[in-house]
Amino acid sequence: MDSHSSGLKNSQFVVPGERLGVIEEFTPSSGTYVQDGVIYSQVTGRALLDLLNKRVSVRPVTREVRVPSVGSIVLGQVSSVQGQNAFVRVFKIGGKRLSGFFTGLLHISDVQLRYVDSMFAVCKPGDILRAKVISEKNKGYHLSTVDKNLGVVYAFCSQCGYALESRRGYMSCPRCGKVEKRKEASDYGTGVI
Ligand SMILES: [Zn+2]
């Protein structure tokens, strides 16, 4: 086994699992772990070498890559509605905007507790939707809007594109008068996107 440092420089950018050195040369400190005498980085960040005390630690980078997990509340725009599914382009997780986006899938059985006969009575392409991530399989995120505070937060008229107003139990377009249905969130039309 190589007992010498792998040429690690102070403040070097490292990723999880990256070799930092061996326990004969450094005392492992925060942000590291040891396996078979080799010290590895546990996090993505900057390696800090304390040559006086022979310590190595890794200071995590503050900007983490955000990925959704089960239970996350997400905000996205409906990109398409096909049969019993709506595809949602998610751009916020837990109130924080993402640098990119990921796609979530809302199935008709996860819309609300009561029976829904058509996905077009739930949301339409272009709508802004708040949902909860309920499962994650093969990088596919399944969403739910069952809770009262989940569902469409902004909807747009399918005829003229104007923002719809919420009435009791339905939506109406203040410009052209078209009446539509959505699964609304309890704070429809009031939030900041
Ligand atoms: Zn309209």
Interval between CA 163 and ligand 1 midpoint (Å) = 8
Interval between CA 43 and ligand 1 midpoint (Å) = 51
Mean pLDDT of the chain: 90
Residue % of the chain over a pLDDT of 70: 94
Q: Is the pTM of this model over 0.85?
A: no
With cut-offs at 50, 70 and 90, classify the pLDDT of residue 7. confident
With cut-offs at 50, 70 and 90, classify the pLDDT of residue 3. very low
Interval between CA 175 and ligand 1 midpoint (Å) = 5
Indicate if the pLDDT at residue 6 is higher than 70.
no
Interval between CA 149 and ligand 1 midpoint (Å) = 25
Rounded-to-integer distance, Cα 50 and Cα 57, Å: 8
With cut-offs at 50, 70 and 90, classify the pLDDT of residue 2. very low
With cut-offs at 50, 70 and 90, classify the pLDDT of residue 15. confident
Question: How confident is the model over 46-69, as a mean pLDDT?
Answer: 84
Indicate if the pLDDT at residue 65 is higher than 90.
no
Interval between CA 183 and ligand 1 midpoint (Å) = 18
Interval between CA 5 and ligand 1 midpoint (Å) = 68
Interval between CA 170 and ligand 1 midpoint (Å) = 14
Interval between CA 182 and ligand 1 midpoint (Å) = 15
Interval between CA 161 and ligand 1 midpoint (Å) = 6
pLDDT of residue 84: 95
